[in-house]
Chain A
Amino acid sequence: MAQVISSSRARWYDPDSATLDRRIFSDPEIYQQELERIFGRAWNFICHESQLPEPGRFFMNYIGEDQVIAVRDRKHQIQVLLNSCPHRGNTVCRAEQGKTASFLCSYHGWNYDLDGSLIGMPGENQFYRGDFDKKAWGLGKAAQVQIYRGFVFATLDAQAPPLVDYLGWVGRLGLDMVASSGDIEVLDGVQKNRIKCNWKLAVDNLYDWYHVKVSHGSALRIGLLTEESMAPDGQMVMLGDYGHGIGGPGLSQAQLNDFVERMGNGEEPSKWYDLQAARRLDQRTRDELGPVGARSLGHPNIFPNLWVTLTRQLCLRIPRGPFETELWWFTLLPEGMPEEERRMAIFIANHMFGPAGFLEQDDGENWSHSTRGAMGNATRKRPLNYQMGHGQDTVVGDPSGQNSIETVVNEHGQRWTYQSWQDWMTADDWPSLIANHTPAPTGVV
């Protein structure tokens, strides 16, 4: 039985040859299935609690192509509502964020409370003759809304397992990397821009420490970054069930100890990781991240589309059809951060990423041209190569449970993303995904 499932799974990503059918970046039917089977089932990042400080505060986001309103209701609960009036389907909220007393549909005036329940509509007695079941016609809602360390997630699937189980240790560690050491808040201002690429190519790229020196070589040559810090040879990868992963630079225990000692003695930063690892100086943070996690300076992805950056940012990759993706940048800082540190953190966030960022500027064209390469009749039939490091590395177990691959620049994260993506796409529902998904690898990978 397992063999049958395994062979039917090899339609797009072939784990034996580590090659990928590039039609997954262009086929409109596959895209529609993704909306159903991935975005419709996953726990999707919606916002951070700090963005909804009091009742009536709302923030608009998307689950796949479904627009949703995250709002704090009168009981201080966070609701995630479908932004579509059940009467004619019109949106009931048009602002990206703000504060409101209710959501009033601009078409016929149906009015919804902050928890999505229908308060009333014009002509309730005169035209509907007082014979209308308002309780049955509230706004649609996410099936479940749960919060992990202030990060609000929602799923449209009532069968989805609890958020903490979904995230697993890798997803939780990914969020801990930005949330560790106290309360954090989202700064006002989410940068948003559109790239003509398939969303998965943007996700693929966050694990890609191979492209950095080529795609972003200009950042080296204008003196913004050093070669050593851009794509260090020492890399760590951690893979978690359902497609979560963390991949990128990693420190050895000796490097981490040396860092803690030098910085603890008040020495000036001198090694490439001294600034990137800055938060690891705090013993509490190291304890929180765990013995292996504390050594990782990699990029987490919360499957499917939430990248946690090294610059205290989250980047959400929202699909806009098979050929277009919207990038949303959230910047998170600890509450009560010293003014000078805060100024520097905002400077880095504003200048590295976002559409005008020194690094980010160069990515879009690569992803859009890769997407075009999945459209040509001849090119789309040729598989893509994901063989870097395939079968060359070993997952090392740690007594803490934090298993990791310690290696050089590699494509483990990308392979894991497509393997997991395929598991999601071939599962009929959550029980079947739970039963049949590829477990996080052990041994040789």
Chain B
Amino acid sequence: MASLANLPLAERMQVTFEAQEFTFHEAALLDNRQYEAWLDLLTDDIHYWMPIRRTTTLKEVSDEFTQRGGMAFFDDDKNTLTRRVNRLSLARAWAEDPPSRTRRLVTNLQVVEVSGDEIQLHANFQLYRTRLNSEEDNWIGRREDLLRRVGGVLKLARRHIYLEQTVILSQNMSSLF
């Protein structure tokens, strides 16, 4: 296990660049509705999780998010993500037919740890969705990803998504984050 700060600059640059390439490629696939190709980027044991967030007092801010194993907006494995992807490609899955137009801005990439074949990556994101004539949704948040080298190729093994909203100001979350 290596905290990134202890690595030589060249190594930091290399791993950060790889993580960035992966991330931008992944976002492009989702923006371009290439969902099957996106699924191929996930490890079979992926955990994809978005807890519920609450407004708390400063004193109780450690209770801001629900805990793993409890209630969540997303608590998915490869199986349920595959079903979400299958849904997205079905006619008359009404939340996405007509399909939404989405654009993902992924920024502030920070490789926080490298351990063997695994890279821990933190990033900020904005997911903009518009659909039909004038509907708009904007989700901004932070992602904590675990990337893993499988057969020399980077894959996504874990994604924890922390939205800034507490009450989700959208009729649904039929997009992938």
Contacts and interface: CB of A to CB of B under 8 A. Distances in A.
Q: Are A and B associated in one complex?
A: yes
Interface of A: 94-100, 187-196, 215, 217-218, 221-224, 326, 331, 343, 346-347, 349-351, 354-356, 358, 360-366, 368
B32 interface: no
A212 to B, nearest CB: 12
Nearest to B71: A189
Given A98-B63, A350-B75, A361-B95, A194 B55 contact: no
B67 interface: yes
Given A351-B80, A356-B172, A356-B173, A188 B66 contact: yes
Given A189-B70, A346-B69, A222 B170 contact: no
B56 A194 contact: no
B52 A194 contact: no
Nearest to B76: A351
B71 A331 contact: yes
Contact of A189 (B51, B84, B86, B170): B51
Nearest to B66: A189
Contacts of B90: 218, 221-222
B87 A218 contact: yes
A187 B92 CA distance: 33
Interface stretch (B15-23, B122-130, B161-169): B161-169
Given A97-B54, A217-B92, A222-B90, A187 B70 contact: yes
A350 B92 CA distance: 23
Which of B63, B80, B167 has the most A CB atoms < 10 Å from its CB? B167
Given A188-B67, A190-B52, A356-B172, 5 more contacts: A94-B55, A95-B57, A355-B170, A355-B171, A368-B171
B177 to A, nearest CB: 10
Interface residues of B, number: 37
Contact of B54 (A96, A193, A196): A96
A389 B96 CA distance: 32
Contact of B170 (A98, A193, A363): A193
B70 A188 contact: yes
A193 B171 contact: yes
Contacts of B66: 188-189
B70 A194 contact: no
22 contacts: A95-B54, A96-B54, A97-B54, A98-B57, A98-B63, A191-B168, A193-B169, A193-B170, A193-B171, A193-B172, A196-B171, A222-B83, A343-B69, A346-B75, A347-B75, A350-B74, A350-B75, A361-B95, A362-B93, A362-B172, A364-B95, A365-B94
B24 interface: no
A143 B90 CA distance: 51
B41 interface: no
B60 interface: yes
Contacts of A221: 86, 90, 93
Interface of A is mostly: mixed
A352 B71 CA distance: 12
Contacts of B92: 217-218
B95 A191 contact: no
B27 interface: no
A194 B55 CA distance: 16
Given A100-B57, A188-B71, A222 B166 contact: no
A192 B56 contact: no
Interface string B4-18: 000000000000000
A331 to B, nearest CB: 6
A188 to B, nearest CB: 6
A414 B83 CA distance: 32
Contact of A193 (B71, B86, B168): B168
B174 interface: yes
A255 B75 CA distance: 35
A315 to B, nearest CB: 13
Contacts of B57: 94-95, 98, 100
Given A192-B166, A223-B83, A355-B171, A362 B72 contact: no
Contacts of B83: 222-224, 358
Contacts of A224: 83
Contact of B172 (A218, A326, A346, A355): A355
A98 B75 CA distance: 24
Contacts of B170: 193-194, 355
Contacts of B95: 361-362, 364-365
A350 B172 CA distance: 13
B87 A358 contact: yes
Nearest to B132: A365
B87 to A, nearest CB: 5
Contact of A365 (B56, B69, B74, B171): B171
A97 B168 contact: no
B169 A346 contact: no
Nearest to B167: A192
B122 to A, nearest CB: 22
Nearest to A360: B172
Contacts of B71: 187-191, 331, 346, 349-350
Given A189-B51, A215-B94, A350 B56 contact: no
A355 B173 contact: yes
Q: Report, nearest first, the 6 A-B pairs whose CB atoms are least far apart.
A: A364-B171, A189-B71, A218-B93, A193-B168, A189-B66, A361-B95
Nearest to A217: B92
